[in-house]
Amino acid sequence: MWARVGLMGSVALGSLFWSQKNKAEASPYELKLVQVLFRHGARTPLKSIPDVLEAQWVPELLAVPAHTEIDYKVTDLQGGPRPPAPVEDSYRAKILTGGTYPGQLTTVGMQQLYDLGLRLRKKYIQEEPFLTPSFNPKDVYIRSTNIVRTIESAKCLVAGLFQQEQTGVVSILTDKAEREILYPNYHGCKLLKQLIGHRWAGSSTLPDIAADLQIIQKSLGVDPHQRLDFILIRDDMVARETHGLPLPTALENWRSLVEQRAVDMIYHIYEPSNRQHLQLCVGPLFNILLTNIEDKIQGTTSKPDRKMFLYSVHDTTLMPCLMALGVFDMKWPPYAADITLELYQHRQTNQHFVKVSYIGQDQKIPGCSDVYCPLHEFKKALAVYTLPDEHYYTLCDSVEDRSKL
């Protein structure tokens, strides 16, 4: 009886492997390159809502699970010492109730990124043998913003993707703050600060948003003179919920409104109908993604074996990217959300195609004739926002006359 079950089990397993192999062979598209932009995992809030029920952000919430540990180092883009991190320094100048710093990756967040790594492993190692099962620096490039939560998120994803198997140390590359292009850089780009900086302040004074904010501040018992906005409220609310920490009762009734208004604010800030705003937010990042694709196709890269680029970023990276791609769903990206770009080559015609997915769901990009978007159509769709570095920095320094804005 046992032998028979075992035999049937192995036959079933064999047919499963055969069907997966057959499925891969049957596809007219051959995978050539994968690029993943992913948001960091759950973290402590950036600020607590003032004057309300305090949450205890204790150090125990930041315990590192053993299965997320790998041998890694953080360098600048050339492999030299890690640059100074003024954004991280600003977090560490404050302490939340409970004793931790704002904006720190928690155990929950570490697990979320490990799980994203497992999802990528299933797709690119188990279902399709695209990557080798252990980390090889020739195959995979990892870049992060120079902030501890994104660096640790990258580390946890790699631990899940390669199950802590590695050939050599994992290098996580970062850039100095004033040159960072993995998020809209108001400090490094003067023109962006001028065009969008005032929109941050103005977003809270839009009539509908201001009226709702007044109601919620009153419900929470927050002093009307306290500086508060829906993005801050949402940040604290989601951080608490994710970690099972108490929410002010009044806030539970307003949850969906807070979500909606936070997105309304960010939509106003980035103003996707204004091409230059989005161009300054995502232009150099889009240029990197397209350059990686071109280098792979032309064989002009110094790393011909490279198969995957991982970019550890923020919600404020993903939202303008989704807006520029024309697929923003008017929802705040959750922790560990990812935008993945896959480059394929058609086995018969040798033509190249790009497929974009968001949190595992394929997206049809406006301007593309199919989910598998012909490369020339994809480049054309992104061309209105793509900026080579030198053009970006020239634009950034060209501050406009405010009277014309």
Given a contact cutoff of 8 angstroms between Cβ atoms, the answer to whether 332 and 164 are in contact is no
User: At 170, phi and psi to the nearest 5?
Assistant: -80, 120
Given a contact cutoff of 8 angstroms between Cβ atoms, the answer to whether 48 and 54 are in contact is yes
Give the residues across from 154 on adjacent strands: none
Radius of gyration for the chain, computed over Cα atoms and rounded to the nearest angstrom = 23
Alpha-carbon distance of 271 to 261, in angstroms, equals 15
User: At 130, phi and psi to the nearest 5?
Assistant: -85, -45
Alpha helices by DSSP H, listed for 81-225, are 86-91, 107-121, 148-162, 190-203, 207-220
Give the residues across from 356 on adjacent strands: 341, 363
Residue 57 corresponds to which amino acid? W
Alpha helices by DSSP H, listed for 163-248, are 190-203, 207-220, 230-242
List active site positions. Answer: 40, 315
Alpha helices by DSSP H, listed for 333-384, are 375-383
| CA atoms within 13 A of residue 81's CA, in its CB half-sphere | 3
